[in-house]
């Protein structure tokens, strides 16, 4: 982001924001794919120690992203030109980690 800001605080920084949003969505999908499939009430899912640890990593990673994204959003809003400020919104990307 520092390199982008040194180059431009307008369209290029806005485009970087879009790239961040897309990367967060993609990362969220990758994390979801690694979660165990839920069974019905009759089919109980047995978590092995390995699977339980994997779930903990996914939850912790999602929590970290939830904490980090607002700061990134605010940094971009603080640096970007006035005409783009109201278009910056990483909340949609943040919501994917809340799921």
Lowest-confidence region among 6-20, 52-66, 76-90: 6-20
The string of pLDDT tens digits covering residues 1-50 is 677 666 667 788 899 899 999 999 999 999 999 888 776 666 677 778 99
Specify whether the CB–CB gap between 90 and 21 falls below 8 A: yes
Instruction: Report pLDDT for 29.
Output: 92
Instruction: Report pLDDT for 47.
Output: 79
Instruction: Report pLDDT for 73.
Output: 93
Instruction: Report pLDDT for 7.
Output: 64
DSSP secondary structure string for all residues of the chain: -HHHHHH-SSHHHHHHHHHHHHHHHHHHHHHHHTSPPP--SSSPPPPPHHHHHHHHHHHHHHHHHHHHHHHHHHHHHHHS-HHHHTT---HHHHHHHH-
Q: Where is pLDDT greater, at 60 or 51?
A: 60
Instruction: Report pLDDT for 93.
Output: 82
């Amino acid at each position: 982001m520092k390199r982008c800001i040194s180059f431009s605080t307008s369209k290029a920084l806005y485009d970087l924001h879009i790239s961040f949003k897309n990367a967060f969505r993609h990362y969220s999908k990758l994390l979801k794919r690694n979660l165990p499939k839920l069974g019905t009430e009759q089919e109980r899912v047995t978590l092995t120690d390995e699977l339980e640890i994997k779930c903990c990593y996914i939850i912790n990673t999602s929590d970290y992203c939830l904490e980090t994204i607002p700061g990134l959003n605010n940094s971009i809003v603080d640096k970007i030109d006035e005409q783009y400020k109201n278009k910056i919104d990483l909340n949609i990307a943040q919501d994917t980690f809340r799921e």
